Copies of this chain bind each other. A is one copy, B any other.
Amino acid sequence: MAGIREERRRQIIQAAMGVFGRKGFHRAKIGEIANEAEIGKSTVYEYFDSKKDLFEEMIRFIAQDYYEDVRSALDKGDTCRDKLLSFARNHGTFIKSHMELAENTMSNSNSVSEEIKKEMLGWKMKIFQIIEDVLKTGIDSGELCAGIDTRAATSIILGSINEGYAVQCIIDGKRPEDADLEPMMDLIFTGLKGQ
């Protein structure tokens, strides 16, 4: 079946995640990706048009994956608070492994086309929306204070999670899965519940 081609693509993307993740776009070498995928260098070009193409496909793959993880993470909590904690934890375990890299590599570089930049922005907005929706549900259920600015609140949550991980992992040297964001979330919730 056609699965073999798809299988190979996956295999190359896996390798790419490793190498791009470690080196960033420019320092990553196609040869190394091929090695990691245990195929010949030129075989990569049978599946992807160029280094840039491979990179962008990888980003798409990761984004898609992340998005689905987020959705299922949110299903794991009942209350608004639980959902967000679950989201935070998920962000820690799964994402830290590569999403950030992707964001970083992308931010200021023409390595990636405008097209994919927009696409990524779309994913980011989707996530933002999902979280904002969770908050709205929290308001409806009375868990959160009615008057809050949900947009601002969402920014606080997303930003805090990022920063929280950064502080605990980079400064304190914890592994993402060991980071504890509960105190931070509690503090945020105190505000969201209103005085």
Residue numbers of A with Cβ under 8 A of B are 21-27, 100-101, 104-105, 107-111, 121, 124-125, 128, 148-149, 151-153, 155-156, 158-164, 166-167, 170-171, 183-184, 186-195
> A170 contacts which chain B residues (CB < 8 A)?
121
Most chain-B Cβ atoms within 10 A of its Cβ — which of A107, A110, A170?
A107
> In the complex, what residues of B have CB within 8 A of residue A159's CB?
156, 158-164, 166
Contact B163 A24 (CB under 8 A): no
22 A-B contact pairs sorted by A residue (CB < 8 Å)? A21-B108, A23-B109, A23-B110, A26-B26, A26-B27, A27-B110, A101-B107, A128-B171, A149-B183, A152-B184, A155-B160, A155-B167, A156-B160, A156-B184, A159-B159, A159-B160, A159-B161, A159-B164, A162-B163, A188-B188, A188-B191, A194-B195
In the bound assembly, the distance between CA atoms of A186 and B149 in angstroms comes to 10
Q: How far, in angstroms, from A191 to B105 measured CA to CA in the complex?
A: 35
B contact residues around A187 at 8 Å (CB): 148-149, 152-153, 156, 191-192
